Amino acid sequence: MGQGQQEQVATSLAGAVSEEVSASLAPVDAELGRRYPGDPGTRQPVHTVYVPGDAFDAGTVRSWGDRALAALDEHAPDAASFAAVLGLPDDLAEPVHARVRAKLEREPVEDLRVDFEDGYGPRPDAEEDETAARAARLVAEAYEKGTAPPYMGIRMKCMEAPVRDRGIRTLDVFLTGLMRAGGLPDGLVLTLPKVTYPEQVTAMVRLLEAFEKVYGLTPGRIGFEIQIETSQAILAADGTATVARMIQAAEGRATGLHYGTFDYSACLGVSAAHQASDHPAADHAKAIMQVAAAGTGVRVSDGSTNVLPVGPTAKVHDAWRLHYGLTRRALARAYYQGWDMHPGHLPTRYAAVFAFYREGLDQAAGRLARYANRAGGDVMDEPATAKALSGYLLRGLDCGALDIAEVARLTGLTRADLEGYAAPRRGDLTASGN
């Protein structure tokens, strides 16, 4: 063929064939869009802090930050000593330490749950009513004054028969209090614990539908997290993955799947000394949760450690190393959120998160820049990888590990550009990927 001669293109199928195929797959297209809408593109907190309902007050968030700073001052007063405890490389010691302190001063808690379940326990009805009403008032005031963390809400009691009515009433008292105080805040999060059957999720949906109708709220306005704390929540009696059915039972309201380390471990008979988020039983459960949630827009959260950084310095350092290591392990497995049970966990939560994003910044930014500019390199990335790279950078920006100026300098991209790569249209993601 001579240079410049145009290639002849020929086909054999009639146009009607393609039309018939498309028509036959229309229900599947609709199903994909409904069941797998993709990540919502909103900020995911790096942790959830649980505070018993009776212990929660207007100063809780600031108190946690101050106590975390005091722990740093006492047990690792400078960047070098903090880095030595955690094994941070020299080039990360100062940036991580400085950012941890700044975070504890500015935004010590990203997500707070006022607990009316295990952390609160059974109380007289009048007492729980009053505590729930008080929680609603304090949450509303925090958002009004600008002192609230980005996300805030309650964990009610579960849908099992002995505590069902109490859990429903607490939810009603809390939501009603918020509405009377001016409405539901944008950062509202509710947690439904100890879910075993999809029907319990459906019951939660019906409750929220009824509440929305009372106040004329947009249908679907109120979402909730599903807490995975029983073996039946992972594997049903018929061998199916219950957690996948739970997501569908939520009818688009599920925002997260939260792993309950100790209830789940106990359910499987794991002895107390070995109940931890890195136990093989925990890894199995979270892997099932992760696969079930993929593409649905539902986020997965790791659990917690019950080893508290309290006491003499040597003991605090041991607890810090354990928590730091578990957090880094979770991040590598794409569990970008976990639970923190004590103010002393905050320094190592943020140290692990900040180190994770800062040590990978240059490589992620470089790869994304080459992809955006269609430049060569030693790694050939695809749209799916560009999505992961931009998601990595956005999570780092949201929590304070990274600054937009340094990301822009390294990538040549704006935040809007990053968000575009992180949430591509389905066709863009699959057309050239594997």
Residue 319 and residue 325: Cα distance in Å, rounded? 10
Q: Tell me: the pLDDT tens digits for 380-422?
A: 567 888 999 999 999 999 999 999 999 999 999 999 999 999 8
Q: What is the mean pLDDT of the chain?
A: 94
pLDDT of residue 431: 37
pLDDT of residue 381: 61
Give strand ranges (E) for 47-193. Answer: 47-52, 111-115, 151-155, 188-192
Which residues does 381 contact at the CB level (< 8 Å), separation at least 6? 367, 370, 371, 389
Report DSSP letters for 187-215, one per residue: TEEEEE-S--SHHHHHHHHHHHHHHHHHH
Q: Tell me: the pLDDT tens digits for 31-41?
A: 999 999 999 98
Greatest CA separation found in the chain?
90
Of 67, 70, 79, the closest CA to residue 351 belongs to 79
Residue found by looking up tokens 């109490």 in the block: 166
Q: Is the pLDDT of residue 2 over 90?
A: no
Where are the domains positioned within the chain? 47-358, 362-430
Of 302, 284, 348, the closest CA to residue 72 belongs to 348
Q: Is the pLDDT of residue 95 over 80?
A: yes
Which residues does 230 contact at the CB level (< 8 Å), separation at least 6? 194, 195, 196, 263, 264, 267
Residue 77 and residue 97: Cα distance in Å, rounded? 10
Residue 270 and residue 266: Cα distance in Å, rounded? 5
Distance of CA 123 to the CA centre of its chain: 30
Per DSSP, what are the bridge partners of residue 47? 338
The tokens for 200 are: 């319990």
Q: Would you call 222 helix, strand, or coil by DSSP?
A: coil
Give me the sign of the Cα torsion angle 330, 336, 340, 346. positive
pLDDT of residue 164: 98
Angle subtended by helix axes 415-422 and 383-399, to nearest 10: 130
Strands 338-340 and 299-301: unpaired
Q: Give whole-number Cα distances, 200 to 33, 47, 161, 319, in Å.
A: 25, 25, 11, 37
Q: Which CATH superfamily is domain 47-358 in?
A: Phosphoenolpyruvate-binding domains (3.20.20.60)
In this structure, the dihedral spanned by the alpha carbons of residues 129, 135, 136 and 141, taken in order and rounded to 10 degrees, is 150
Q: Tell me: the pLDDT tens digits for 325-382?
A: 999 999 999 999 999 999 999 999 999 999 999 999 999 999 999 998 875 555 556 7
pTM for this model (two decimals): 0.92
